Amino acid sequence: MQVAIALFPKATILDAIGPYQVFAGVPDAEVVVCAAWKGRVSDAGGRVHIDVEHTFDDVPEPDVLLVPGGNVTRQMTHDDPILDWIRSAHEHTIYTASVCTGALLLAAAGLLRGRRATTHGVAYDALREYGAEPIEQRVVFQDRIVTGAGVSAGIDLALEIAARLSGPEVAQSIQLSLEYDPQPPFDAGSPTNAPQAVMNRLQSMVSLWQSPQRRRPVGSVGRVSAEEVASDGQAVER
């Protein structure tokens, strides 16, 4: 069984690496990280780099396709090589999946029209523009299309797919190997639970990272305020 995890510049790394860690534990699964071009792919902050050895053309018929998200996905929904790959590969998949705003790429590829789907809470309206029905749920299965909520939901999504492919005991063994036993310090991890002040702060962050980023000159000294932290955890420098 082949699992293809897509990458692209400025992707949110945990969206991809969380599921990768789960799928790597599925017996007889070949996990392939791929991108439009071979070579180095960097995250939004330009601090984490992954050497990608396979292009989308190398994995035309994966059994599982997974697309991560990132602030940049809104800019990729019009004419990006990943869209053609999603459309083509989806014809052969057992499951086609997205994490966080990766759902916008599935939607832009025409896969979510008229379907229930989830994404990061700040992207519900954007998803609705493609004819999808956004719902606040950790993981949503619609036939063989699977969408996950924001970032950390990718681990849950991958475990649920692993359970359907290889059985609950295999998925539970993988979960135990990761000691994935969430006990968050705050009950603020979803739009429903988060206090309004926290939601307002997040919206301010979203507005910030949608505006042109201001870069601090190399060697300069300065502090990054809480308002200048992007929603994917990356600091916006000034």
Q: Among residues 59, 100, 107, 153, which one is catalytic?
A: 100
Give catalytic status of residue 34 as yes or no. no
Looking at residue 130, the DSSP 8-state letter turns out to be: T
Contact 155, 19 (CB under 8 A): yes
Residue with tokens 């979510």: 112
Residue of 170, 222, 185 whose CA lies nearest to 22: 170
Picking from 65, 19, 33, the residue whose alpha carbon sits closest to that of residue 158 is 19
Torsion sign (Cα): 161, 183, 21, 54: positive
- Beta-bridge partners for 148: 99, 139
Which residues does the annotation mark as catalytic? 100
